[in-house]
Amino acid sequence: MRAFVRLLVGSGASLALFGCPKPERQSAPASSSAAAAAARADTSAPSPVATPRSTAASDAGALDRAARQRFAGHVARGRKHADASQWADAVRAFEAAVAIDPGDARAQSELGWAAFNAGDLSTARRATQVAVTAASDRVVKAQSLYNAGRIAEASDDPAAAERAYRQSLSLRPSDAVEKRLASLGAGRGGSDLTSTGTTCVKAASIADLCTCIVDEVRASRGRAEGGTCGERAEPRLAGTNFVLLHHAIGPAPEAEWTFAAAKVEGGYLVAAEIEHAENPGAFGITETSKLGGVEVRKIGDKRVVIFKAEHSHHRMNQVGGDDESEARTVQTFCLADRASRPCPLAAPLVTTYLHERLDLQPIDDFPDEVRRTLASLPVRKKTRVEATLGPDLVVDVVLKEGRADDLPRGLLGRHSLR
């Protein structure tokens, strides 16, 4: 998936993203609108009203109390207008909010949803991309991905919509999202346990597949260039039909991915996203993603390729007065020569999450709702599962530590690779 997976912070803030499917939306009254700042994640991806290198407040550091109150007031007005389906007014209010804090994922997501309903798909797409990239908790990211799916449908791009809905389901269960996915005729419902991270499914050659991936980034991010893409020299997956592709954008790089691609009849298809990291260079976000190892295991006449990747995300948010970090180890299981869906399982073996106060400013400088949220910190979470591959090509996934609710739906249990 083209954004880092986050975990729900459980901070006690009321969540009121208007893109959330109606059966699941937790509406917050206007008086609690400052809760949108409670678990903020920053990004430099282009927003409708600020550029990554702008002089907006998020670049300058912490906001003063008056700016925080103005931000909260704009968000409250935006939500009030959205509840009344006054979408153009809601867009203006949320644009005023993100002008103060362009790194607030919730405000950007609500701007995207309001713009979508107002018929401004360009603004909706840009704001939602910011929200997906910046979101630091599982629910906000999942809801923003749902929004992205709706925007893709409205843009007559069912492949992008399917990808967004499947990524949303991989973060949290949602009957409403499953129904939307099923309406596309997109195969089985339920949570996808592996993301391909791209709508580029199959091409005649590696070069053609890379061209599709680069063009997709150019279009989705509004960039003149879509980066570089090619086959990784190492590791070589001898005896299998898999190769690894590396895609990077920007000189740092700003973002990079590693995909497992499978050679099949008629060309190559993207089987799974193995690594992905976003480093916008502003707003306090730092991510790493590293391929920790590859194992090719022979079972009978079959070969199973097991990728292990280490992901980390850190966001220091001086504007919101909080600091978040997450680390994950993910094991992806792929069956060589499987004609379709060759990598059916990606198991997050260990996920650790920490959300705490920065204590750089007096807590009284924050609006009431944010102050109550900050007072509830720190929040610590950890989940650990064990994934065991048997001689029958079935992977048994068992919870060892933490809560099953913090895992993708359908992860626990037995999964056949055939």
So what's the pLDDT on residue 299? Answer: 95
Contact 121, 37 (CB under 8 A): no
pLDDT tens across 123-168, in order? 999 899 888 877 767 788 889 999 999 999 998 888 788 888 888 8
Residue 58 has pLDDT above 50, yes or no: no
So what's the pLDDT on residue 371? Answer: 76
- Prediction pTM value: 0.71
The CA angle 112-117-120, to the nearest 5 degrees, is 65
Contact 375, 342 (CB under 8 A): no
Among 31-40, 60-69, 326-335, 343-352, which is the least confidently predicted range?
31-40
pLDDT tens across 109-127, in order? 999 999 999 999 999 998 9
So what's the pLDDT on residue 23? Answer: 33
Q: What's the CA gap between 76 and 183, in Å, rounded? A: 33
Looking at per-residue confidence, does 319 or 344 come out higher? 344
Q: What's the CA gap between 388 and 365, in Å, rounded? A: 50
For the chain, what is the mean pLDDT? Answer: 80
Residue 96 has pLDDT above 70, yes or no: yes
So what's the pLDDT on residue 62? Answer: 57
So what's the pLDDT on residue 192? Answer: 62
Mean pLDDT on 278-299: 85
pLDDT tens across 363-374, in order? 777 767 677 778
Residue 389 has pLDDT above 60, yes or no: yes
Confidence of residue 57 (pLDDT cuts 50, 70, 90): very low
Q: The domain 22-183: what is its CATH number? A: 1.25.40.10
CA distance readout (Å), 104 to 88, 128, 131, 294, 324: 20, 11, 8, 37, 14
Residue 52 has pLDDT above 90, yes or no: no
CA distance readout (Å), 259 to 35, 210, 305, 350, 378: 37, 10, 13, 21, 35
pLDDT tens across 200-241, in order? 888 999 999 999 999 888 877 767 788 999 999 899 898 899
